A = this chain, B = another copy of it.
Amino acid sequence: MGLTKSEMFTEEQNEISNIAKVFGHPARVAILQHLFKIDTCICGDLVNEIGLAQPTISQHLKELKKIGLIKGNITGTSVCYCIDKANWTAMKKTLHLFLDQDLQDNDICCS
């Protein structure tokens, strides 16, 4: 069916997968890396930077904005985007909790 019943899973599991889903497209990774690199806000040059059409970039930006990782300010006819630092830090904390679980060494069958 393709229907994921979110109530089947814990809030943490849904949160992690929702974050990961946003990182699950190279264009969005590229957008975020660019926002980090230029160290300041960015307007429409993402369309030139990444080789995708303007509506596509706009759609990816919407996804990133929806989950709160970026925010945008309107300045004239263009919109400046940047990383939402507080939310980025919070997101990192959630992911680290999952990624940095202890790796015990008591393999029984997978040695």
- Flag if A24 contacts B30 (CB, 8 Å): no
List the number of copies, as a whole number. Answer: 2
Q: How large is the interface on A (under 10, 10 to 19, 20 to 34, 35 or more residues)?
A: 35 or more
Q: Which residues of B have CB within 8 Å of A73?
A: 109-110
Q: Which residues of chain A have a CB within 8 Å of any CB of chain B?
A: 4, 6, 8-10, 13-14, 16-17, 20-30, 32-33, 36, 39-41, 50-52, 71-73, 75, 80-85, 88-89, 91-92, 95-96, 98-110
Contacts A4-B27, A9-B27, A20-B21 supplied; 10 other A-B pairs, CB < 8 Å: A17-B28, A20-B24, A21-B24, A23-B98, A36-B101, A41-B108, A75-B109, A80-B108, A85-B105, A95-B99
